[in-house]
Amino acid sequence: MPANINLNHFRNLVAMASADGNMDEDEKEFLLEKAQEFGIDLAEVNAIINNPSEHYFVAPDELGDREEQLSDAVYIAMIDGEIHEKEYNLCVKFANRLGLSAKDVDEIITLSKKLMK
Q: Greater confidence, 54 or 12?
A: 12
Question: According to the model, what pLDDT value does residue 1 have?
Answer: 52
pTM over 0.85? The answer is no
Ordered domains of the chain (ranges, CATH): 3-116 (1.10.3680.10)
Three-class SS of 46-68: HHHHHCHHHCCCCCCCCHHHHHH
Of 51-55, 89-93, 107-111, where does mean pLDDT reach its minimum?
51-55
